[in-house]
Chains A and B, each alone.
Chain A
Amino acid sequence: MEVALAIVIGVLYAGGLYLMMRRNLIQLIIGLGLLSHGANLLIFTSGGLREGGAPILEEGKKAFAAVPADPLPQALILTAIVISFAVTAFALVLFLRTYEVVGTDDVDEMKETDT
């Protein structure tokens, strides 16, 4: 399972970086999205994959029946997903505005700030 996830993470990173180096704004933003998904999966995998119940105690019990899965990586990922959701939403608005103002979605055409 770890191997499969490791390959998936690698593919996500490779795809994300490849798309980030394209000239199109939409591809750039999809690339950023893939990259953050890769990072999230990496946290999930390196936190340890374990078969076990949810770490929520049944009512009236004081101990878990089986060793539960580690909830922290999932909490971290949830936070990271929320953040990347907000940032992606903002980036979409920004890119849309840029497309309207500059009149192109080709990154190579945006030379005004080049030094």
Chain B
Amino acid sequence: MILLPVLPIILPLAGAILCMFFRKNLIAQKVFAVIFSSLMLTVAIGLLMSVRGGEIAVMNVGNWPAPFGITLVVDMLSAIMLVLGGLMAVAVSVYACFDLDQGRTRFGFFPLLLIMMMGVNGAFVAGDLFNLYVWFEVLLTASFILLALGGEAAQLEGSIKYVALNLLSSALFLAGVGILYGMAGTLNMAQLAVVVQEGGHGGLVTMVAVMFMLGFGIKAGMFPLFFWLPASYPTPPAAVSAIFSGLLTKVGVYALIRMFTLVFCNDIAFTHGLLLVAAGLTMLTGVLGAASQHEIRRILSFHIVSQIGYMIMGLGLFTTLALAGTIFYLIHHIIVKTNLFLVAGAIKRLTGSYDLNLLGGLYESRPGLAMLFMIPAMSLAGIPPLSGFFAKLALLIAGVQAEAWWIVATALAVSLLTLYSMTKIWAAAFWKAAPADALPCKEPADWRLFLMPMTVLAILTVCIGVFAGPVFSLAQDAAAQLMNPAGYIHAVLGGG
């Protein structure tokens, strides 16, 4: 159907507009947010079904033909990301209905969330580099406001670091776009791929590739410029942290995957080798940073960094299996990470703190919540049969096949350290006896309903682990599609 590729952009926009019209009616806003994010999820699943067979959905906005107009392209990777984005939007908006304070809701949390989702979805379907830039800016601007919403001192300080580094990365991205346009005379990704394949541009392509690597790398939280992430993600309320940690850095990873499989594959030894080194360092610094922290959300934030490393590792190895591993890792990571942040938010709602020194005894008093933490945490550390195990396994096998022993060794060591910090949270918050000066637990009236999004995500984590076969074959098909860009180019540009 011709409408489908644009629906993931239109739906959140329509939802946001409705929310803005009902500025005073918070209940209506909550209803709209949940309805429209559910619609988004439905559309995304429909899209995934329709591209599952291998064909690519293309739409030329305004009927301007492909390399001239704005093209929206949905291949399997895009569709998978859209489904994950929709899922997170539903989970977080349901969660926010219960947990978010009045002030922030009144100031426009829900319309901002939907606008941000529009940016995220737009970035996933963009088939044109400048369009990608615009969607990045849309999601960044919305995320700036979401991050600063409420205006606590820590939030504002975190926002400044976030804003400054992300704007720097946007400037780099834009400069790269300019140089590419000067070189190729087009910004359509498929056309760019054709021009770069024809060759004759010497080292310029590699230079631009490194610029994009830096630009997207900052947004993805890649080594060496990831410091904004642990400084800003732990500051806003749990609902905001959760959607940020699940989706935003992954948009950067998605853009890296797209550009470095489609366009920048003329000097693989150098660019992808560089990616692999950056991946190893990202993993290591992230996990070491996490080991030194004592606040749940700071630990989790550093783990985002370390896991971005795993995803980049698959891209750096650049084989079908490795890319399939990366995609599987994306699926697993987005669900698990969002869930962990939501559970952290639940702990805060129950006890009033994120600080491990003030928490304790939750396993005794809240075994249900303990289970909800246990599943994603163990999945993150890669314990079989949960989803993280298979994601890491695929990446390790790919690393062994490529005989990149040092990255395999790093990945294994980092995995062990991840287990260490997950058990640290587990032991401190759940197992040890509650400290004498612990804050009193009070269970809100809507507690069971409130736990619903987390329960659903935890069940999904288990399901991905149990039915790893079908999910992995989906990831493998998507990876095969990425490794063979001719199909993408043909779908966008037609016979040429």
Contact surface of A with B, Cβ cutoff 8 Å:
16, 20, 25, 28, 32, 35-36, 38-40, 42-48, 72-73, 76, 79-80, 83, 86-87, 90-91, 94-95, 97-98, 101-102, 107, 110, 112-115
Known: A38-B171, A38-B175. A28 touches B164 (CB 8 A): yes
Interchain CA distance A94-B152 in the complex, whole Å: 12
| CB <8 Å contact, B148 and A97 | yes
Known: A90-B141, A90-B145, A101-B151. A43 touches B177 (CB 8 A): yes
Chain A residues with CB under 8 A of B144: 87, 90-91, 94
Chain B residues with CB under 8 A of A35: 167-168, 171
Chain B residues with CB under 8 A of A16: 171
| CB <8 Å contact, B231 and A76 | no
Known: A101-B156, A102-B157. A20 touches B231 (CB 8 A): no
Q: Which 5 A-B pairs have the closest CB atoms?
A: A46-B182, A43-B178, A39-B174, A98-B156, A113-B231
Interchain CA distance A33-B153 in the complex, whole Å: 25
| CB <8 Å contact, B148 and A94 | yes
Chain B residues with CB under 8 A of A43: 174-175, 177-178, 181
| CB <8 Å contact, A47 and B182 | yes
A42, A45, A46, A94: the one contacting B160 at CB < 8 Å is: A94
Most chain-A Cβ atoms within 10 A of its Cβ — which of B133, B140, B164?
A: B164
Chain B residues with CB under 8 A of A87: 137, 140-141, 144, 167
How distant is A107 from chain B, measured CB to nearest CB, in Å?
7
**Is B30 an interface residue, CB under 8 A from the partner?**
no
How distant is A85 from chain B, measured CB to nearest CB, in Å?
11
Chain B stretch 147-177: residues in CB contact (< 8 A) with chain A: 148, 151-154, 156-161, 163-164, 167-168, 170-171, 174-175, 177
Chain B residues with CB under 8 A of A32: 164, 167-168, 171
Chain A residues with CB under 8 A of B152: 101
Known: A35-B167, A98-B160. 18 other contacts (CB 8 A): A20-B168, A25-B160, A36-B170, A36-B171, A47-B182, A48-B182, A76-B177, A76-B181, A86-B141, A94-B156, A94-B159, A97-B156, A101-B151, A101-B156, A102-B157, A113-B161, A115-B230, A115-B302
How distant is A55 from chain B, measured CB to nearest CB, in Å?
13
Interchain CA distance A65-B276 in the complex, whole Å: 53
Known: A38-B171, A43-B174. A91 touches B163 (CB 8 A): yes
Known: A36-B174, A112-B154. A94 touches B182 (CB 8 A): no
Interchain CA distance A25-B170 in the complex, whole Å: 19
**Is B293 an interface residue, CB under 8 A from the partner?**
yes
| CB <8 Å contact, A73 and B164 | no
Interchain CA distance A28-B130 in the complex, whole Å: 26
**Is B134 an interface residue, CB under 8 A from the partner?**
yes
**Is B402 an interface residue, CB under 8 A from the partner?**
no
Contact surface of B with A, Cβ cutoff 8 Å:
130, 133-134, 137, 140-141, 144-145, 148, 151-154, 156-161, 163-164, 167-168, 170-171, 174-175, 177-179, 181-183, 187, 230-232, 234-235, 289, 293, 298, 302
How distant is B132 from chain A, measured CB to nearest CB, in Å?
12
* Majority secondary structure of chain A interface residues (helix, strand, loop or mixed): helix
Interchain CA distance A16-B137 in the complex, whole Å: 20
How distant is A82 from chain B, measured CB to nearest CB, in Å?
10
Chain B residues with CB under 8 A of A36: 167, 170-171, 174
| CB <8 Å contact, A79 and B130 | yes
- B178, closest chain A residue (CB): A43
Interchain CA distance A108-B106 in the complex, whole Å: 33
Provide 6 A-B residue pairs closer than 8 Å at the C-beta atoms, listed in order of the A residue: A36-B170, A46-B179, A76-B178, A80-B174, A90-B144, A113-B154
How distant is A84 from chain B, measured CB to nearest CB, in Å?
8
Known: A35-B171, A94-B144, A98-B157. A47 touches B235 (CB 8 A): no
Interchain CA distance A47-B177 in the complex, whole Å: 10
Interchain CA distance A62-B171 in the complex, whole Å: 39
Chain B residues with CB under 8 A of A73: 178, 181
Chain B residues with CB under 8 A of A95: 160
Chain A residues with CB under 8 A of B167: 32, 35-36, 87, 91
Chain B residues with CB under 8 A of A86: 141
| CB <8 Å contact, B141 and A39 | no
How distant is A91 from chain B, measured CB to nearest CB, in Å?
6
- B165, closest chain A residue (CB): A20
A39, A44, A115: the one contacting B298 at CB < 8 Å is: A115
- B302, closest chain A residue (CB): A115
Chain B residues with CB under 8 A of A38: 171, 175
- A40, closest chain B residue (CB): B174
| CB <8 Å contact, B151 and A97 | yes
B154, B181, B183, B231: the one contacting A115 at CB < 8 Å is: B231
Interchain CA distance A53-B140 in the complex, whole Å: 37
| CB <8 Å contact, A20 and B164 | yes
Interchain CA distance A112-B163 in the complex, whole Å: 17
Interchain CA distance A36-B177 in the complex, whole Å: 13
